[in-house]
Amino acid sequence: MSLPIEPAVIPESENTLFPVFLKLETLSVLLVGGGNVAVEKLQALLHNAPRTRICIVAIAVDKRIRQLAARFPAVSIEERSYVAADLAGMDILVVAVNDIPLSEAIRMDAKAKGILVNVADKPALCDFYLGSIVQKGNLKIAISTNGKSPTIAKRLKEVLNTIIPAEIDDVLNDMQQIRQQLDGDFSDKVKQLNDLTKVLVAKQVSLAEVNLKKSKEKKWQ
């Protein structure tokens, strides 16, 4: 006799956002708006995925957006009012206009087409958030406060940028080479890599020590 299965209890205060890293260069983005907020959104998109196809639609366009469009060939600008047809072929919509009724109307157009939406400063209208990002070479960390405090996310970004050394990218590149050279099945490789990297969680360890340990491990050669 099987026991009854109780439904999972999910605290209302829990952050249930699912973290995912998109290959944004394979998608198309529509950015509606041309002011300061649109500049911030565009900078965030291009900083993380500079090859992304981005179409900007706005009646007035900040000169900084023009400068970015001149530098990144996949960015295009349409100086006019938004129309629903702008959503054709788009995968993601970012709305950065200071007009709540217009933002809601644009969002409704996008939802009807199954397009993911981000509306600046309106968490309730968002399918996803553009979080604070920490990047050191190939290492990229996204920070989410569940839309509650972008300021805290910004401060955490500053902290992580300070404590994570630039040498982490060298370690990542070395670890990739080591992983490719290891023998054995998946389980064996995981055990060997865990042994090599456990020094990272030791107190007061530096990445220089990790590299020293790596150079002494003959079995990785």
Tens digit of pLDDT at every position of the chain (221 positions): 577 888 888 887 788 999 999 999 999 999 999 999 999 999 999 999 999 999 999 999 999 999 999 999 999 999 999 999 999 999 999 999 999 999 999 999 999 999 999 999 898 999 999 888 999 999 999 999 887 888 899 999 999 999 999 899 998 998 888 888 888 888 888 888 888 788 766 655 555 555 555 555 544 44
C-alpha to C-alpha distances, 221 to 88, 176, 207, nearest whole angstrom: 53, 13, 20
CATH architecture of 24-130: 3-Layer(aba) Sandwich (3.40)
Q: How far apart are CA 214 and CA 217, in angstroms?
A: 5
Q: Pairing state of beta strands 53-58 and 75-79?
A: parallel
3-state percent helix, strand, coil for the chain, nearest multiple of 5: 45, 15, 40
Q: Note whether 120 and 148 are within 8 A (CB).
A: no
pTM: 0.81
Q: Which pLDDT does position 218 carry in this prediction?
A: 45
Q: Return the DSSP state at 140.
A: E
Q: How far apart are CA 117 and CA 124, in angstroms?
A: 11
Domain boundaries, the chain: 24-130, 131-164, 168-220
CATH architecture of 131-164: 2-Layer Sandwich (3.30)
